[in-house]
Amino acid sequence: MTRLTTILGYLGLIPFLLPLAVMVNGFVFGNGLQGVSVFGFYGPYVFISYSAVILSFLTGTLWSRARLTDDNTMARAGVVASNLLALAVWASLLLIYVAPLLTVFAVCLLLAGYLALLYLERFLQAQADKNYWKMRIQLTAIVCAAHLILVAMMVMEL
């Protein structure tokens, strides 16, 4: 794992945490999430869209890892899982247009996607560098915590 990979991984948290901080501030001190604007957009939508982009990117890396394994059964499982996760991400983007409750479900779907991806990546690449896994677990934990905080705020506003 390169230093650049580590730096970019942690910098990738900023677009999760900055909108979340704005939303928490609006939720606690303002008029709730409905009054929060991030770059002129409804706060949770900014969070969801970035989450969907990152999870889609990571899902593509799973496809690549699956192709590199020598075990055909594992390779097939990895490619199928990669496609299923990509479809779940797409569904999460569609759900936000249906109803507020489904927007909450979209955030939960993305959260589940990050956890599933971590598990699948570990399954396909058990021999990876310890520093890489330390970083992946830390990043996934922070991203999942951010999703849980957003879900909690959204549920309280239903």
Q: What is the pLDDT of residue 79?
A: 84
Q: Taking residues 7-11, report their average pLDDT.
A: 94
Closest to 33 (Cα-Cα) out of 104, 97, 102? 104
Q: Cα separation of 11 and 115, whole Å?
A: 20
Give the tokens for residue 132: 């890489």
Domain architecture of the chain: domains with CATH:
3-157 (1.20.140)
Q: What percent of the chain stands above pLDDT 90?
A: 63
Check if the beta carbon of residue 155 is closer than 8 Å to that of residue 27.
no
Residue whose tokens read 């390779």: 75
pLDDT tens profile 68-79: 776 777 778 888
pLDDT tens profile 77-94: 888 888 999 999 999 999
Q: Taking residues 6-28, report their average pLDDT.
A: 95
